[in-house]
Structure 1
């Protein structure tokens, strides 16, 4: 093992009855075991973010409740030069969006998540996350600014025994985050834009989940990187984090190799050019060499938002990872053009 963090192996509540972080919840697990019984208003943040990629295009869905507003979105990108890129984001003051469950939305036993009108008009967005016998069903609808209808219908499989990273990051007893990062999940389906259909049915279609529940400080900055695919004879999911976990004793770093998780307790060394984020990035474990990756972007999803109490400065770069990683059992994997992303985010909320 490459971490001294405590592994949690049984169900646990995130919070004590008074809303403070339960010390028994601090640690990580290979499957989602925390019940996010959050209390209080104003600093509580809940979200589900799914991104499903193919070699030629991707779609990302977000459902979020930030207390004072809800923010739900659909993002679609074709990688080819001049390819389609569209984003629809519905901002709902007062947090009048979907009620997000205490467990991972779309997992067995969790209530369905549905937000937005069945037939959205204008800038409205419909997102559905439902549990089905075959996995998690993701659906979305919106209109482009030109009033072209967009429909998303995807099924994310849940392979038996597939492990993921769930971890609590504790800033204090009053400020903390529980996140479940799930990589390298097979997915299938399609996206319709007007009369055109984008196929998500290949063997190289992969889904990544960022499930978040916590109580956050007013301002924060983070790096997040993820990638999924097949390389060097293995199915590999890469989960990388930075900045926001410093000094907490927890990290959100892990590898998923052929469905088995390797937790990385070492903080990563991220290097990139903030003035030119499309230049190559490097992400490494400086002490152990377990992660030694170069990320080469091909597209920047640049977001600048000022909406009252909310300010968001995001550079989310999509591209490919190359280099090497090492699993807990010593297996060294050559990473070649593994599709994913790396982002630099500054948030005031």
Structure 2
């Protein structure tokens, strides 16, 4: 559908699959007074990036759960298997995640020894990601800067949906050619826009108190152009869009009925087992092979966040609605399991 300028206009929220991100996204605008304050507290917000590079796995995130702000960053060298990771927490509201994001928005999570910053400039044609993480007893220092090419980016996967238990979901995802560098200790990984990619994942969602999902993503540059996929399972209402889709060189196309086998949420969880990923219409036929994982746990009195993000490679086939298909082999990507009380 055509993208509205705001997710919520005159107290009415738009739902559906958009051509792009609305300029202004704040789910709490649907309400007023005390209800607005409550729904603002319920809105969980994050902006993260997955790095796509043949020599490393990597990701970063800035998030605000309203009772807790946090940020994580990791890089794993694919040849040596060395994992370098950092995490920081702060009070709710500490993370900067502006509702008007792409038109000059600045995100940051900065504490002594830990700094992750994003600067967005759609009109100028590029977004900038910067990070400076001091060495710890277990991790070498990490620094870097990545410039994301807006003009050569994929179509946007941007959607709004109603969810069970009076919850809602908004997400924006897009693939960008990336140039710059990531330095870990004395090793520098170069990023070149003609070869390397970064995937943004933004959420502004009013999630149920007990929330769970399994989610994965990848992207790859092929002779036809950049293709990729984003897929997830979570409690869903009938006839509502899911946050799953295939990126073709020309479009972001919705998917539905994602199934993971085995699902990393099954007990007992085996985070080393290969996982098949399929959809209801035969557009995805993938196997994810884990190469490792990072785990995050936050435990408060009545709230908890527990998730594991596996990094590894995808192989198989993805298909467009028009029947075109692309075979992929050993493409870096991630697969994540979240279980939370929010």
d(CA) in 1 for partners of 2:43, 2:61: 17
Shift in alpha-carbon separation, 1:315–1:53, aligned structure 2, 3 A: same
> Which residue is 2:128 aligned to?
137
C-alpha RMSD over aligned residues: 2.4
Q: Which of the residues 296, 307, 323 maps onto 1:330?
A: 323
Q: Would you say 1:271 and 2:261 are equivalent positions?
A: yes
Asked if 2 retains the 8 angstrom alpha-carbon contact of 1:232 and 1:334, the reply is: no
d(CA) in 2 for partners of 1:161, 1:49: 16
> Which residue is 1:5 aligned to?
none
TM-score, normalised with respect to structure 2: 0.86
> Which residue is 1:3 aligned to?
none
d(CA) in 1 for partners of 2:26, 2:242: 22
Asked if 2 retains the 8 angstrom alpha-carbon contact of 1:171 and 1:248, the reply is: no
Q: Would you say 1:298 and 2:295 are equivalent positions?
A: no
Q: Would you say 1:347 and 2:336 are equivalent positions?
A: no
> Which residue is 2:104 aligned to?
110
d(CA) in 1 for partners of 2:245, 2:184: 35
> Which residue is 2:253 aligned to?
262
d(CA) in 1 for partners of 2:317, 2:157: 20
Displacement of 1:10 after TM fit?
3.0
Structure 1 unaligned residues grouped into runs of 5+: 1-7
> Which residue is 2:117 aligned to?
128
d(CA) in 2 for partners of 1:161, 1:53: 14
Q: Which of the residues 148, 171, 182 maps onto 1:179?
A: 171
After the TM superposition, which of the residue ranges 229-238 and 311-320 deviates more from structure 2? 229-238
1:35 is paired with a residue whose SS is: coil
d(CA) in 1 for partners of 2:303, 2:340: 8
Displacement of 1:280 after TM fit?
1.0
> Which residue is 1:47 aligned to?
46
Shift in alpha-carbon separation, 1:160–1:86, aligned structure 2, 3 A: closer
Aligned length: 325
Structure 2 unaligned residues grouped into runs of 5+: 29-36
> Which residue is 2:94 aligned to?
96
1:42 is paired with a residue whose SS is: helix
Asked if 2 retains the 8 angstrom alpha-carbon contact of 1:114 and 1:126, the reply is: yes
d(CA) in 2 for partners of 1:137, 1:259: 24
d(CA) in 2 for partners of 1:75, 1:310: 24
